[in-house]
Amino acid sequence: MRVWLGGVVALGMMLATTPAAAGRADVGQPAHDYTVLTFDRQKVSSVELKGKVVVLNYWATWCTPCKAEMIVFDDYIRKHPDTDLKIYSITTEDSVPPSMLIKLASILRFPLARKLYGRGYGVMEGVPTTYVIDRSGVLRHAKAGAFNALNFEALVGPLLAQAAPANIPPL
């Protein structure tokens, strides 16, 4: 019994240090590199977004809070058109053909995305799940749950008010 229990503890310690556990994106730490594949098949990398405030949002077509949150995002961008805010909403399931999202994609002020490549950015306890990265490339928010207009402004407004880092290399 003692040998078996010791083996379980050792296995648990090994798993806690595996790349999967170490690969999780942690708030307050530099964000992991990522690439977004947009609805129109453009690839945008984290390198291209340095100096911007970035929102990576997982949503589902059947999710009512997700749809309400998209309105919050769209309203924010319409009210603040000249900001360095970049929002990418990543569809989580393939139950709806991309052709059915064309109309939605055409009216939003931010791009829909098909995929997010990069370690540490998965759907958490459900959708919507959102990651917010500041201008310095630090992860500032990583949670499941929908934003409303007030809490989105409270998080994103101060991040946008910060100056972009001076040491961003040109592409």
Q: Say which DSSP state 30 is in.
A: B
- Given a contact cutoff of 8 angstroms between Cβ atoms, the answer to whether 124 and 144 are in contact is yes
pLDDT attached to residue 8: 38
Distance CA 63, CA 95 (A): 13
The burial class, CB within 10 Å (0-12 / 13-18 / 19+), for 111 is middle
Query: By three-state DSSP, how is residue 74 classified?
Result: helix
pLDDT attached to residue 24: 72
pLDDT attached to residue 93: 75
pLDDT digits (tens, 9 = 90+) for 86-141: 999 999 876 678 888 999 999 999 999 999 999 989 998 899 999 999 999 999 99
pLDDT attached to residue 107: 95
Q: How confident is the model at residue 167 (pLDDT cuts 50, 70, 90)?
A: confident
pLDDT digits (tens, 9 = 90+) for 7-40: 433 433 333 333 334 467 899 999 999 999 999 8
Residue whose entry in the numeric block shows the structure tokens 């799940």: 129
Q: In the sheet where 53-59 sits, what is the strand order? A: 43-45, 35-38, 112-117, 85-91, 53-59, 129-133, 139-144
- Given a contact cutoff of 8 angstroms between Cβ atoms, the answer to whether 21 and 92 are in contact is no
pLDDT attached to residue 160: 98
- Given a contact cutoff of 8 angstroms between Cβ atoms, the answer to whether 134 and 140 are in contact is yes
Hey, what's the torsion of the CAs at 69, 72, 78, 84, to 10 degrees? Answer: -80
Domain ranges of the chain: 23-161
Please compute the mean of the pLDDT values over residues 154-159 and round it to a whole number: 98
Q: Which amino acid is at 76?
A: Y
| The CATH number, out of the four listed (3.20.20.100, 3.40.50.720, 3.40.30.10, 3.30.565.10), of the domain defined by the range 23-161 | 3.40.30.10
